[in-house]
Amino acid sequence: MASYVPQDPEFEARVRGSFASQTLMRTVGARLLRVSPGEVEIGFRFRDDLTQHHGFLAGAVVTAIVDVACGYAAMTLMPPGASVLTIEYKVNFLSPAQGERVIARGRVVRPGRAVTVCAGDVVALHTGREKTIATMLATMATVNSDGAEFARTEAGAASADDRRRGSHPRRASRPARPWCVCRGQGLGRRLRSIVRSAL
């Protein structure tokens, strides 16, 4: 497991404060069990009112809890003032979700300035034994607390022109990266066009 150095020394307080504001997590009775650089663990007790027609924990609840765990794992490595927004994920359901408690563990696979890739697992606990019920691969965008892109240069925040173009200045010592999500048009603009095309 990779070890990371957080950019914000107050990362844990920021993550815990943000988590406390999540109505959905309060609704399912979820609690933050662990917060460390690049890793977050969330758990809750299995409840009948969160199940689907076969009596298993609903897939939407499983997905939500691991998405949140991955998002906060990414947020632990973001700079002060930055937040997180999920831009993509894939979930595999491995086993019906039954047990006494459910735990989601999110971890950073590859951190980035604009985009962070995370992975997460959800386990159900029954008589003290864990069974993996789902696994996720997710992509998280770094955003301001108001949802705008959070791009930074070596000297500090990106200029207003850079933000309008949706790009960031290239370092002279580093060649252009053709895979960069900021290339061509900005991440925010791409997200808005994806949302518009889906409506």
Task: Dig out the tokens for 131 from the structure.
Answer: 């069974």
pLDDT reported for residue 174: 54
Q: Residue 78 and residue 82: Cα distance in Å, rounded? A: 6
Query: 3 in a domain, yes or no?
Result: no
Q: Is the pLDDT of residue 168 over 60?
A: no
3-state helix, strand, coil split of the chain in percent (to 5) is 25, 35, 40
| Same-domain check for residues 170 and 135 | no
pLDDT reported for residue 148: 64
pLDDT reported for residue 150: 58
In the chain, what percentage of residues exceed pLDDT 70?
72
| Same-domain check for residues 26 and 111 | yes
Domain span including residue 162: 152-198
Query: 160 in a domain, yes or no?
Result: yes
Q: Residue 30 and residue 48: Cα distance in Å, rounded? A: 15
Task: Dig out the tokens for 35 from the structure.
Answer: 């917060």
In the chain, what percentage of residues exceed pLDDT 90?
65
Residues 73-79 have a mean pLDDT of: 96
- Nearest C-alpha neighbor of 144 from the set 193, 66, 75: 75
| Same-domain check for residues 23 and 90 | yes
Q: Is the pLDDT of residue 172 over 90?
A: no
Tell me the pLDDT of the chain averaged across its residues.
Answer: 83
Of 119, 144, 169, which marks where a domain is finished? 144
Cα distance from N-terminal residue to C-terminal residue, the chain: 40
Residues 102-134: tens digit of each pLDDT: 999 999 999 999 999 999 999 999 888 999 999
